[in-house]
Chains A and B, each alone.
Chain A
Amino acid sequence: ILNVEQSPQSLHVQEGDSTNFTCSFPSSNFYALHWYRWETAKSPEALFVMTLNGDEKKKGRISATLNTKEGYSYLYIKGSQPEDSATYLCASQTGANNLFFGTGTRLTVIP
Chain B
Amino acid sequence: ETGVTQSPTHLIKTRGQQVTLRCSSQSGHNTVSWYQQALGQGPQFIFQYYREEENGRGNFPPRFSGLQFPNYSSELNVNALELDDSALYLCASSFGGSGETQYFGPGTRLLVL
Partners in one complex: yes
Binding site for B on A (CB under 8 A): 1, 4, 31-32, 34, 36, 41-46, 49, 51, 89, 91, 93, 95-104
Q: Whose C-beta in chain A lies nearest to the C-beta of B97?
A: A97
Main secondary structure of the interface of A (DSSP, over half): loop
Q: Whose C-beta in chain B lies nearest to the C-beta of A49?
A: B101
Binding site for A on B (CB under 8 A): 1-2, 4, 31, 33, 35, 40-45, 48, 50, 55-56, 58-59, 90, 97-107
CB distance from A104 to the nearest CB of B (A): 6
Q: Whose C-beta in chain B lies nearest to the C-beta of A47?
A: B101
- Would A43 and B33 be within 8 Å (CB), given that A4-B42, A102-B42 are in contact? no
Main secondary structure of the interface of B (DSSP, over half): loop
Q: Whose C-beta in chain B lies nearest to the C-beta of A51?
A: B99
Q: In the complex, A59 Cα to B102 Cα: how many Å?
A: 17
Q: Which of A41, A45, A96, A101 contacts B44 (CB 8 A)?
A: A101
- Would A31 and B99 be within 8 Å (CB), given that A44-B90, A97-B55, A98-B33 are in contact? yes
A-B contact pairs, 14 of them (CB 8 A): A4-B42, A31-B99, A34-B101, A43-B4, A44-B90, A89-B42, A91-B43, A96-B98, A97-B33, A97-B48, A98-B45, A99-B102, A101-B43, A103-B41
